[in-house]
Copies of this chain bind each other. A is one copy, B any other.
Amino acid sequence: MIKADWIAVDWGTTALRAWAMSTSGTLLAEAHSENGMGSLDPDAFEPALLDLISDWLPAGKTRVIACGMVGARQGWIEADYARTPCAPTASILTHAPTTDPRLDVRILPGVCQMSPADVMRGEETQIAGFQALNPDFDGVVVLPGSHTKWVHMSAREIVSFQTVMTGEMFAALSNHTVLRHSVTCDDWDASAFDNAVDESLSRPEKLAAKLFSLRAEGLLNGMTNATAKSRLSGLLIGAEIAACKPYWLGQPVALIGDKKLCALYARALKPQGVDAVMTDATTMTLAGLKAAHATLTE
């Protein structure tokens, strides 16, 4: 039976992932469940965690380091934000209230920026992991997702960042507007995506006028759902890249996130002269949690 020296946890809105770790940083076991923060009342967090990790717990106390929305106001316990400019690896962790004597749970803070107002929870840990593996990186880290983060890193600090809710807007338009008839499809049209990115980048003010045409082109001119879906994705990612130009222009760019989604961002950035580096998201998360654990035990 595997016993952990400490346990790393990534606890987001929709999922819970845990890794049993040795003191030396070796990954011993992993487990996950769908007990995301979004579906749990405050007193349901400890049982949800024990469901996943109790077999890994030796006698005595085991430290659990958690990042993500678990530390939001609606989560287990609120872990305050670090304020930019700041290192992505936090120095002050928040103890979560537990009743099982084997648990010592500490939650990493998120990062906030006061002006323009912005927040992240979880991404800072992936950035800390990226920084641990690329200590000399100065540039921009992009974390595509429901709420994509564009993060300017310099001198080992998060200088500033910008959230763009492209993923959530894509989902809302695809599922909750008339476009749902036009974009439901598993296929993909890469050149339609490329053209739409280019249209949004060259004429960003036209975006509002281009969405309904995805429906009308299907009705009148037989545009396929694959093309409409790819165009919708390209229009929104293009608009995001247009809005975030001050971030990527002239900067080294690294991508952390879902492989397919990161590939779309890399493809969309390439014609702008940006060769974005792709990284593995889970590797970054784990490296960030290891860095936080190392800070605690130094």
Q: Kindly state the separation between the CA atoms of A165 and B119 in the bound complex, as whole angstroms.
A: 29
A149's nearest neighbour on chain B, judged by CB, is B212
A163's nearest neighbour on chain B, judged by CB, is B212
A218's nearest neighbour on chain B, judged by CB, is B117
A207 pairs with B239, CB closer than 8 A: yes
**5 nearest interchain CB pairs?**
A204-B205, A117-B216, A209-B243, A172-B172, A208-B243
Copies of this chain in the oligomer: 2
Residues of chain B contacted by A119 (CB below 8 angstroms): 215-216, 219-220
Q: How far is the CB of A59 from chain B (nearest CB, A)?
A: 41
Is A168 an interface residue, CB under 8 A from the partner? yes
Residues of chain B contacted by A221 (CB below 8 angstroms): 114, 117
Residues of chain B contacted by A216 (CB below 8 angstroms): 112, 116-119, 163
Q: Mark A174-215, 1 if CB is under 8 A from B, else 0.
A: 011111000000000000000000000000111111011101
Residues of chain B contacted by A169 (CB below 8 angstroms): 173, 177, 211
Q: Name, among A166, A208, A215, the residue most crowded by chain B CB atoms within 10 Å (CB to CB).
A: A208
Is A147 an interface residue, CB under 8 A from the partner? yes
Is A217 an interface residue, CB under 8 A from the partner? yes
Q: Name, among A112, A209, A219, the residue most crowded by chain B CB atoms within 10 Å (CB to CB).
A: A209
Is A242 an interface residue, CB under 8 A from the partner? yes
Residues of chain B contacted by A168 (CB below 8 angstroms): 177-178
B164 pairs with A208, CB closer than 8 A: yes
Q: Residues on A close to B: CB < 8 A?
A: 112, 114, 116-119, 147, 162-166, 168-169, 171-173, 175-179, 204-209, 211-213, 215-217, 219-221, 223, 236, 239-240, 242-245
Choose from B147, B172, B205 the contact partner of A212 (Cβ within 8 Å). Answer: B147
Residues of chain B contacted by A112 (CB below 8 angstroms): 216, 219-220
Q: How far is the CB of A161 from chain B (nearest CB, A)?
A: 11
Other than the given A165-B212, A171-B176, A205-B205, 15 more pairs (CB < 8 A) read A112-B220, A114-B221, A117-B217, A117-B219, A117-B220, A117-B221, A117-B223, A118-B213, A119-B215, A147-B212, A163-B212, A163-B213, A168-B178, A172-B173, A172-B177
Q: Kindly state the separation between the CA atoms of A165 and B211 in the bound complex, as whole angstroms.
A: 7
A209's nearest neighbour on chain B, judged by CB, is B243
Residues of chain B contacted by A116 (CB below 8 angstroms): 213, 216
Given A117-B219, A117-B220, A213-B118, are A208 and B239 neighbors across the interface (CB < 8 Å)? yes
Residues of chain B contacted by A243 (CB below 8 angstroms): 205-209
B166 pairs with A208, CB closer than 8 A: yes
6 A-B residue pairings within 8 Å (CB atoms): A112-B220, A118-B212, A119-B220, A176-B176, A207-B243, A209-B243
B244 pairs with A209, CB closer than 8 A: yes
